[in-house]
Structure 1
Amino acid sequence: MGIEFNVFKGSKSGEIIEGKGYRDPKSTEVIVKISHCGVCGSDEHFRHAEQGLGHEGIGIITEVGSSVHDISEFRVGDRVGMGWFHKFCGYCKQCTTGRQNQCKNSTCLGSADLDQGCFGTAVAWDVSTLFKIPDAIASEDAGPLMCAGATVWSPLYDQGLRAGDRVGVIGIGGLGHLAIQFASKMGMEVVVFSSTESKKQEALAFGASEFHVTSGVTTLGSIAKVDALLITTNVNPDLSLFLPVLAAGSKVFPLTISMEVLPFTPLSLIGGSISVIGSGLAPNASVQVMLAFAAKHGVKPQIEKFPMTQAGVTEAMQKLRDGKMRYRGVLVVPN
């Protein structure tokens, strides 16, 4: 049967353009009619590419491929979410050991399916990278969890942190405000570092235990040391300011896609047995736990909604680019 869809794409000039497409589902794919999609900073990297944008999609399955019932529990009518990855191979070492986010044969935004994207009305999506959305999570809140949520969840859940640990979060933006919520609901002490005082009350409302301003200071004083540090800012911080507050054996997680050098010396890490760990999206089982946890504990993004139109996509991406989004944009397909 297949489906015709509209999709919003980047262009060489950076202008958002609207295109049309058609897809029949392959044997392991489903057709998803999109209702919402989160707007992520990573979409900005593809704004000058002639491809479909968007990777925080939420929608309803309207058709399934010939093998879907044999390999999955997905059915027509299920509400599902999808993120950065489009397909996992299922047979490499990473996939067979539960680390699908490191699959060597994966396809993802920018590497395949350039004709479609979650900034649109429908997609054909492989079931290997699809997730059911719990009833307790609204579709408008679910989109940002598929990328931003999965990005901050993985260091907290997959890297051995525990209730009672002190977790530092640098920045209170699209990633940071979710990291604060997840960490605090998991029983961790959340220590927020921000360049200004302006977001202090919001940070505390999200669940922060402490709030420290970093702009213009040369030392963070007598802050009790943290066991992990999540860097969620778009611009890399001066790590020399934070190294003195890292506990022995602590872990540092750079979470935003940046081409900038993160400055530190080997000696600064060796003395305290500090690890710097690159961390992207969580593996499949972890994402499923994240969604269940968010549903149970009421973790959700603070969002601004925009229509899924050319003007709406343009406005949302510009507001994100200007640093004025509070804190995740969500595109809504008009009824």
Structure 2
Amino acid sequence: MIKAYAAQSPGGVLERFEFERGPLLSNEVDIEVLHCGICHSDLSMLNNDWEITEYPFVGGHEVIGKIKQVGAEVKHLQEGEIVGLGWHAGYCMTCDCCMQGHHNLCHESESTVVGRYGGFSTEVRAKAHSVIALPKELPPEVAGPLFCGGITVFTPLLQYDIKPTSRVGVIGIGGLGHLALQFLKAWGCEVTAFTSNEAKKQEALALGAHHTVDSRHGEIQQKYDLIISTVNIKLDWDRYVSSLAPNGRLHFVGATLDPLDIHVSPMIAGQRSMSASLVGSPAGISTMLEFAARHQIKPVVEHFQFDQINEALAHLRDGKAKYRIVLSH
């Protein structure tokens, strides 16, 4: 019997819950959960904000654990190995997106927390191709957020061939932004942090930013090759588009809730563009982990025990997390 914490209704308190699984398929692995991050997406799923949640709901998609059992066809993972699992728990492996290495765009992808029970439990199951071995240089107790927040901000660097000479801005210094600053500094970029929080400016500089600018009203002097927005609030997007260099890009990884008010003329004049992305492929995650291990990039986390899960969720809901939360057994 697998033990978990589950909500029975939208926004409900997570309570102790037990369930059983059927036999392990030949291409699956079972993972004993050691640590699991809490992401804003877990809150969205808990509240059924996206109208895809099934109850009882067991969240948790930033899993670090130990391989407990492998299916008969699994050769690249071994029992006892420390691994991570992110938003996706499986892909079709046959569609054009999968065949081109863009597994995160697979229309038949399986989510770790949609239609199955996630990492707020003692054990999770996933297709082996979505499970990535954790480099020994990365501490398991802090690595979980890399499998969602980390790959989310790392993917644009791979996708758009960002150069070490690029000037890059990051809007919002929180769970996503604090990782983006670390990656970009190690990548070699000149990095600007956009934040309206005065207290975060010094923290942003310590995390890797060379400059800070008020995200709402500050004067922008640089011309950026890339600006990554991690926020879900309405900003003066024309201001940011106008601050892009020719061929520059405004890229969204934060799901802003309001429609984007943007004039096309500045985009045309500078041949600028906008884009967005969702997490990343298994190959991208593996590359990110290798890069993080080499440069000793780690999420800044606060730790809670699993029996404190409701306090941890409230801490995140109230905007008090600095910068990610990890649960441990």
TM-score bucket (shorter structure): over 0.9
Q: Aligned residue pairs: how many?
A: 320
For 2:40, the equivalent position in structure 1 comes to 41
CA displacement 1:249-277 (0-9 Å, x = unmatched):
11111112344212212223222211111
Does the CA contact (< 8 Å) of 2:61 and 2:113 recur in 1?
A: no
TM superposition score normalised by structure 1: 0.92
After TM superposition, list the pairs within 5 Å mapping 1:179-218 onto structure 2: 179-215=180-216, 217=217
Q: From the superposition, tell whether residues 191 and 177 of structure 1 become closer, same or farther in structure 2 (CA, over 3 Å).
A: same
After TM superposition, list the pairs within 5 Å mapping 1:302-313 onto structure 2: 302-309=300-307, 312-313=308-309
Does the CA contact (< 8 Å) of 1:214 and 1:220 recur in 2?
A: no
SS at match of 1:220: coil
SS at match of 1:54: coil
Partner AA of 1:225 in structure 2: K
- Indicate which of 3, 8, 11 corresponds to 1:11: 8
For 1:55, the equivalent position in structure 2 comes to 61
After TM superposition, list the pairs within 5 Å mapping 1:111-150 onto structure 2: 111-113=114-116, 116-150=117-151
Partner AA of 2:270 in structure 1: G
**Whole-Å separation in 2 of the counterparts to 1:140 and 1:235:** 31
Report deviation, 1:43.
Answer: 0.6
Does the CA contact (< 8 Å) of 1:203 and 1:211 recur in 2?
A: yes
After TM superposition, list the pairs within 5 Å mapping 1:152-301 onto structure 2: 152-215=153-216, 217=217, 220-221=219-220, 223-301=221-299
Report deviation, 1:107.
Answer: 1.2
Report deviation, 1:200.
Answer: 1.3
Partner AA of 2:248 in structure 1: S
After TM superposition, list the pairs within 5 Å mapping 1:22-37 onto structure 2: 22-23=20-21, 24-37=23-36
SS at match of 1:316: helix
**Whole-Å separation in 1 of the counterparts to 2:134 and 2:164:** 26
For 1:106, the equivalent position in structure 2 comes to 109
Q: From the superposition, tell whether residues 136 and 253 of structure 1 become closer, same or farther in structure 2 (CA, over 3 Å).
A: same
Percent identity at matched positions? 35
CA displacement 1:98-117 (0-9 Å, x = unmatched):
1111112111145322xx11
SS at match of 1:152: helix
CA displacement 1:11-67 (0-9 Å, x = unmatched):
325122221112232211111000001110111111134221010000000111122
For 2:79, the equivalent position in structure 1 comes to 76
SS at match of 1:12: coil
Does the CA contact (< 8 Å) of 2:240 and 2:250 recur in 1?
A: no
For 2:50, the equivalent position in structure 1 comes to none
For 2:317, the equivalent position in structure 1 comes to 321
Runs (5+) with no aligned partner, structure 1 = none
TM superposition score normalised by structure 2: 0.93
Partner AA of 1:8 in structure 2: Y
SS at match of 1:31: strand
Runs (5+) with no aligned partner, structure 2 = 48-52
Does the CA contact (< 8 Å) of 2:36 and 2:62 recur in 1?
A: yes
Partner AA of 2:65 in structure 1: G
Does the CA contact (< 8 Å) of 2:233 and 2:257 recur in 1?
A: no
* Cα-Cα RMSD: 1.4
CA displacement 1:281-305 (0-9 Å, x = unmatched):
1212111110011011010011000
- Indicate which of 100, 105, 108 corresponds to 1:97: 100
After TM superposition, the runs of 4+ consecutive aligned structure 1 residues lying more than 3 A away are none
Report deviation, 1:196.
Answer: 2.5
**Whole-Å separation in 1 of the counterparts to 2:212 and 2:309:** 34
Partner AA of 1:55 in structure 2: H
SS at match of 2:270: coil
SS at match of 1:228: strand
**Whole-Å separation in 1 of the counterparts to 2:266 and 2:6:** 44
CA displacement 1:223-248 (0-9 Å, x = unmatched):
11111010011324221232221111
- Indicate which of 79, 88, 100 corresponds to 2:91: 88
Partner AA of 2:61 in structure 1: H
Partner AA of 1:7 in structure 2: A
